[in-house]
Chain A
Amino acid sequence: MSAGTVPEVSTWGAFVATLRRDLLVAFKRRNDLLNPIMFFLIVVTLFPLGVSPDPLELAGISAGVVWVSALLASMLSLDNLYRADYEDGSLEQLLLSPQPLFFLVLAKNIAHWLISGLPVVVLSPLLAYMLYLPEGAYWTLVLTLLIGTPVLSLFGSIGVALTVGLGSRGLILAVIVLPLTMPVLIIGAKAVTDVMFGLPVGSHFALLGAMLAVALSIAPLASAAALRISVN
């Protein structure tokens, strides 16, 4: 309890520690780690069974199927983002840190993306192959997911932060989050479909990039404000 040394305040240190902590929690809870990926795989594999195994038909819907599944997988894992922390009081400790809450929330969002978004991006070519996505569209699919899934995590975080204090959340999270993430889904899927028809996709990437930039700069602020309200 030496009061002699000046406390070394390090935002970067707190950012890294929070990121590392959330990843550690996820790795210790294997279920949380595997659930979104398994869900993603299961939903996508159901389409050839339910719709048609016809390559032409599947190719037409493949981009949309992968994107919708990615969105649902991200939603499914959102609840873990703040719930345990709210229940055990860690969230209060997070709010009482002298470090800017923006960066701590951003660290948690990045951890969420690394757990739920990145595996989806990595697995997407495999599933695209299964759905007969034309070869030329692979890279577009992977890239749109790479830019789009972080936006899903960042916007989703706002919804979870708003609802974490509610006893029974049910569908309210989806009602809040889906309208925010809908544009990402539309543009992401459209870019892949357009590439299949040989259309230019530069503008789609520009829009997705702009969304990511907006999400990165605004969503953590909104999440931080929502968390303060939820804890209040």
Chain B
Amino acid sequence: MMPDTDPLLPDTPPAAHAEPLLKVQSLFCERDERVLFSDLSFSVGSGQLMQVLGSNGSGKTTLLRIICGLNDSYEGTILWRGMPVTDQRETFLASLLYIGHRVGVNRILTPRENLRWSASLHTPVDDLRIADALARVGLKAFEDVPCRNLSAGQNQRVSLARLLISPATLWILDEPFTTLDVYGVRELERLLAEHIDNGGSALVTTHHRLNVPCAVERLNLDGVEQPL
């Protein structure tokens, strides 16, 4: 399933990046005897937002999990700041923030307790930052409610609060908009824009048309441009 066209279909001409942060070279992945992608190459630079598109089952989630290192059934090279990620896993993980389909929020704990643990796995932050982050994602007054009593959208917001307390350069977000309401969508778009503005980069899968002031590059795994 070689894409006919170049998989990189930028909205606007990419800015001149000195060295891309993340570089994926001739990636090949096969699942259940079906080739998901072959010879897939792209790079994400500092201040770049990339939207991964593709029909259901085209391998968007697999691609993101491969980049994070959660899935190792692939061939090809993934470079972080010019070095293979497999040679510098800890450095790469320290710069990475991943939010998957399963948002990583324990249902018994409260949003505050969840964030405290998430932060401690990467960079510990004080409770004030956590309270601020929760307020910013609209969970003020819900800080100490067990997450099982919150809605799916609110749980997604708990995971998005992680974006605010993490110093990670690269955000990898898998369908982060699915359960959010319109205000949540707008808030996340603002967060993304801020992150890009600060020189961060992001890789996002969504079918939603991103309404952000910065340029959005598109990576289409189907090889055919889809109407948005």
Contacts and interface: CB of A to CB of B under 8 A. Distances in A.
Contacts of A7: 94, 122-123, 167
Contacts of B106: 21, 25, 84-85, 88, 90
Given A7-B94, A10-B124, A98-B93, 15 more contacts: A3-B200, A7-B122, A9-B123, A14-B120, A14-B121, A25-B109, A28-B108, A28-B109, A28-B146, A88-B107, A90-B105, A92-B70, A92-B102, A96-B69, A232-B72
Contacts of B200: 3
Contacts of A231: 70
B103 A88 contact: yes
A2 interface: yes
Contact of B73 (A10, A84, A93, A232): A232
A9 B68 contact: no
Interface string B96-140: 101011111111110001001110111110000000000000000
Interface residues of B, number: 40
Interface in A75-122: 84-85, 87-90, 92-99, 104
Given A1-B198, A232-B70, A93 B121 contact: yes
Contact of A89 (B71, B72, B100): B100
Contacts of A1: 164, 167, 194-195, 198
A41 B93 CA distance: 45
Given A96-B96, A96-B98, A232-B70, A3 B167 contact: yes
Interface of A: 1-3, 5, 7-10, 13-14, 16-18, 21, 24-25, 28-29, 84-85, 87-90, 92-99, 104, 231-232
Nearest to B167: A7
B76 interface: no
Contacts of B100: 89, 92
Majority secondary structure of chain B interface residues (helix, strand, loop or mixed): loop
Contacts of B113: 21, 24
B54 to A, nearest CB: 21
B11 interface: no
Contact of A92 (B98, B117, B123): B98
Contacts of A96: 68-70, 93, 96, 98, 121
16 contacts: A1-B198, A7-B94, A7-B167, A14-B120, A24-B109, A25-B106, A25-B109, A28-B109, A88-B105, A88-B107, A89-B100, A89-B105, A92-B104, A96-B121, A98-B94, A104-B121
Interface in B73-108: 73, 90-91, 93-94, 96, 98, 100-108
Contacts of A24: 109, 113
A13 B104 contact: no
Closest 5 CB pairs of A and B: A89-B102, A17-B120, A97-B121, A89-B104, A98-B94
B14 interface: no
Nearest to B107: A88
B199 interface: yes
Nearest to B155: A88
Nearest to A26: B108
Nearest to B69: A96
Contacts of A3: 167, 169, 198-200
